Amino acid sequence: MKLLQMKKHRIILLFCVLIFNTITFSQVTDGLFAEYLFNDGTADATVGDVDGVVSNAYLANDRFGCPGKAYNFVTGDQSVIGLGNNFNDEFATPDLSWSVSAWVKLSDRSANNSFILAKYGSDGPNGCDEHQRQFIIRKSPAGKISLTFYSRLTGPTHYVVASGSTSINDTLWHHIVINYDGSTDAESGLARAEIYLDNVRETLFIEGSAGTLSNIPVGTAHLSIGQAMGSDGEVCNPTRSYHWPGYLDDFKFYNRILLDWEVDLLFNVTSSCCDINTSISAGPNTIYIDEEADGAEYQWIDCSTMDPIPGETNAYYFPETVGNYACIISQGECTDTTDCIEAVGLSINTLTENNFNIFPNPSKGFITIESYHINKNVNLTILDELGREVYKATSIPRDYKLDLTNFENGIYFLQLKSNDGNVTKKLSVLK
């Protein structure tokens, strides 16, 4: 049988009536220019081509409890993920807009002035000894999520600190979204910012400001997660408490403002610690799951209609007609779907030697007769070397296990009969 792999179909939503624990992943991808999910145990970009460089940050459980899918930033270890001197075109182009979405969790709830994301190389003994200040997203000295954006790199500081109104003083996961609109100067620059905390748009106030309002300048400080880094890629003043003391995950950068409903989608994304192997292969007249998982449930579907095939709930399927087929695999709260497979050139309508497999052969007494034949009315007769009938069964299942330990050592002939053909196979019993 020739089998051709086709495009993978994710059809979870169509089968929510069949699978009660279906997982739905909401995606907001318009304008997404960089994404760091950490799900593969690295800080490599899942969108974009700028990979993060991890320094002294440690893999940890994410907000769903899945191990190794978030990073822990430890006080005293100078934990940071560096993204290099990148994304000036997105963050520092005059009059343009951008957004950042992330999940944050404190391990030290009393810590303030803690950097979440920054492109900031400050001057003086408390910084990187340079003038490369562009923006900071942090838990501010007042304990609120805030956006600080600068209007010049050198000389006297020109900046606005737009702060939310809700203090974070717990050790729970929180979702933040920061919108920045560079096209407005209203409200002394406050109108440039929008901050969402856990799907609620914050009431903002200016926590601090100085100088005149202008565009975020183009600088050379490295964009960094969890700490400030200078233009040389080094952490700014390790003794100063700019670091984030806790956990960070799922950073998404957009080149536009996110709307309320998009923030809602990002906040309500559901997931689980799912790692289902959806590899699928083909044998003679059958399609099967490569690796059966403990406690998994299976439902084969016809890809042409997306309908479930009644009764086909094993890890293998014997298609009765040429077509495209896939399998929905459920394990606990996790659900995934295999690729669709096109089954062509089937020879399953006629009973032939290729439609049966008997193993092990030779056998010590226990055998399995595996059928690839669609006719369920297959009868089995076993004869010894003298042609005497020693065993008989009718309408054997497609996966038939047989105990022959009471048989004498020797050669036996297995006759398989149906209304569309007869096959005889030889079996050696050697105990």
Segment 222-264, tens digit of pLDDT: 999 999 999 999 888 765 568 899 999 999 999 999 999 999 9
User: Can you give the pLDDT at residue 376?
Assistant: 59
User: Can you give the pLDDT at residue 318?
Assistant: 78
User: Can you give the pLDDT at residue 289?
Assistant: 87
CATH number (3.40.190.10, 3.40.50.2300, 1.10.760.10, 2.60.120.200) of 32-267 reads 2.60.120.200
User: Can you give the pLDDT at residue 107?
Assistant: 92
pLDDT of 132 > 50? The answer is yes
Question: Higher pLDDT residue, 376 or 393?
Answer: 393
pLDDT of 309 > 50? The answer is yes
Tokens, residue 151: 């209007």
Residue 380's nearest CA partner among 359, 390, 394, 368 is: 394
Three-state secondary structure string covering the chain: CEEEEEEECCCHHHHCCCCCCCCCCCCCCCCEEEEECCCCCCCCCCECCCCCEEECEEEECCCCCCCCCEEEECCCCCCEEECCCCCHHHHCCCCCEEEEEEEEEECCCCCCCEEEEEEEECCCCCCCCCCEEEEEEEECCCCEEEEEEECCCCCCCCEEEEEEEEECCCCCEEEEEEEEECCCCHHHHHHHEEEEECCEECCCEEEEEECCCCCCCCCCCCEEECCCECCCCCECCCCCCCCCCEEEEEEEEECCCCCHHHHHHHHCCCCCCCCCCCCEEEECCEEEECCCCCCCEEEEEECCCCEECCCCCCCEECCCCCEEEEEEEEECCEEEECEEEEEECCCCCCCCHHHEEEECCCECCEEEEEECCCCCCCEEEEECCCCCEEEEECCCCCEEEEECCCCCCEEEEEEEEECCEEEEEEEEECC
Q: Average pLDDT, stretch 409-414?
A: 91
- Report the Cα–Cα distance between both ends of the chain, in Å, rounded: 35
User: Can you give the pLDDT at residue 220?
Assistant: 95
User: Can you give the pLDDT at residue 399?
Assistant: 81
User: Can you give the pLDDT at residue 370?
Assistant: 79
CATH topology of domain 353-429: Immunoglobulin-like (2.60.40)
pLDDT of 37 > 90? The answer is yes
Q: Among 59-73, 307-321, 338-352, name the one with the lowest average pLDDT.
A: 338-352
| Same fold? 2-22+274-344, 353-429 | yes
pLDDT band at 15 (very low <50, low <70, confident <90, very high): very low
User: Can you give the pLDDT at residue 127?
Assistant: 65
Q: Average pLDDT, stretch 279-287?
A: 75
- Return the top range by mean pLDDT from 1-10, 92-101, 373-382: 92-101
pLDDT of 17 > 60? The answer is no
Pair type for strands 70-73 and 246-254: antiparallel
pLDDT of 172 > 90? The answer is yes
pLDDT of 125 > 80? The answer is no
CA torsion through residues 189, 190, 195, 200, sign: negative
Residue 270's CB: how many other CB atoms inside 10 A? 11
CATH number (2.60.40.2700, 3.20.20.70, 1.10.10.60, 3.30.70.1520) of 2-22+274-344 reads 2.60.40.2700
Question: Higher pLDDT residue, 162 or 141?
Answer: 162
User: Can you give the pLDDT at residue 375?
Assistant: 55
User: Can you give the pLDDT at residue 20?
Assistant: 29
Q: Among 62-66, 305-309, 330-334, 395-399, name the one with the lowest average pLDDT.
A: 330-334
What does the domain layout of the chain look like in residue ranges?
2-22+274-344, 32-267, 353-429
pLDDT of 114 > 80? The answer is yes
Q: Average pLDDT, stretch 357-372?
A: 85
Q: Average pLDDT, stretch 332-345?
A: 75
Question: Higher pLDDT residue, 66 or 29?
Answer: 29
User: Can you give the pLDDT at residue 393?
Assistant: 92
User: Can you give the pLDDT at residue 106?
Assistant: 94
Question: Higher pLDDT residue, 402 or 321?
Answer: 402
